[in-house]
Amino acid sequence: MSVVLEVRDVTKTFGSVRAVDGVSFTVRRGTITGLLGRNGAGKTTTIRMITGIFFPDSGTIELLGGKSGDPRDHIGYLPEERGLYRQMKVVELLGFLAEIKGRRGADVQRDIARWLDRFELGEKRDSKVEELSKGNQQKVQLIGTVLHKPDLLILDEPFSGLDPLNQELFRELLLEYRQQGKGVILSTHGMELAERLCDSICLISQGRAILTGELRAIKRRLGGNSYRLVGDKDIEEGLDRLRALPEVEQAVVQDGVAKLLLRPDADGADVLRRIVGFLRVHELRSEEPELEQIFLKAVRDAA
d(CA 268, CA 126): 63
Looking at the domain covering 223-302, what would its CATH class be? alpha beta
Q: Where are the domains of the chain?
A: 3-206, 223-302
Instruction: Please give the torsion angle defined by the CA atoms of residues 38, 40, 45 and 46, in that order, rounded to the nearest 10 degrees.
Output: -30
**pLDDT computed for residue 224 by the predictor:** 67
User: pLDDT of 116-142, one tens digit each?
Assistant: 999 999 999 999 989 998 888 888 999
Q: Quickly state the pLDDT bin for 253 (edges 50, 70, 90).
A: confident
| Average pLDDT over every residue of 204-232 | 86
Residue 206 has pLDDT above 60, yes or no: yes
User: 3-206 with 223-302: one CATH topology?
Assistant: no
pLDDT of residue 223: 65
Residue 162 pLDDT > 90, yes or no? no
Higher-pLDDT residue of 269 and 186 is 186
Secondary structure (3-state) at 275: helix
Flag whether pLDDT at 231 surpasses 90.
no
B/e letters for 210-220, b = 16+ CB within 10 Å, e = fewer, are bbbeebeebbe
Whether residue 184 is predicted with pLDDT greater than 70 in this model: the reply is yes
Q: How many CA atoms lie within 13 A of 102 on its CB side?
A: 11
The pLDDT assigned to 9 comes to 96
What is the structure's pLDDT at 202? Answer: 96
Q: Which secondary structure element, helix H or strand E, spans residue 117, and what is its range?
A: helix 106-118
What span, in angstroms and rounded, lies between the C-alpha atoms of 182 and 156? 17
Percent of the chain with pLDDT over 90: 43
Q: How far apart are CA 136 and CA 244, in angstroms?
A: 49
Question: What order do you get walking across the sheet with 17-28 strand by strand?
Answer: 17-28, 3-14, 58-63
Distance from C-alpha of 151 to C-alpha of 54, rounded to nearest angstrom: 20
For the beta sheet containing 281-286, the strands, ordered from the edge strand earlier in sequence to the opposite edge, are 248-254, 257-262, 226-231, 281-286
Q: What is the pLDDT of residues 87-124, one digit of tens each?
A: 899 999 999 988 888 877 788 899 999 999 999 999 99
Sort strands 183-188 and 152-156 into parallel, antiparallel or unpaired. Answer: parallel
- pLDDT value at residue 26: 96
Q: Which of 112-121, 125-134, 217-226, 236-245 has the lowest mean pLDDT?
A: 217-226
Q: What is the rounded end-to-end Cα distance, in angstroms, of the chain?
A: 34
Residue 1 pLDDT exceeds 60 = no
Residue of 210, 160, 166, 209 whose CA lies nearest to 189: 160
Element containing residue 161 per DSSP (H, E)? none
pLDDT band at 165 (very low <50, low <70, confident <90, very high): confident
Summarize pLDDT for 25-75 with one digit per residue, the tens: 999 999 999 999 988 899 999 999 999 899 999 999 998 765 556 767 789
Q: What is the pTM of this model?
A: 0.81
Q: Which CATH class is domain 3-206?
A: alpha beta
- Residue 186's DSSP bridge partners are 34, 155
**pLDDT, averaged across the chain:** 88
Residue 232 carries which DSSP code? Answer: -
Angle at CA 172, nearest 5°, toward 166 and 125?
55
What are the b/e assignments for 88-113, b being 16+ CB within 10 Å? bbbbebbbebbeebebeeeebeebbe
What distance in Å separates the CA atoms of residue 33 and residue 133, rounded to the nearest whole number?
Answer: 30
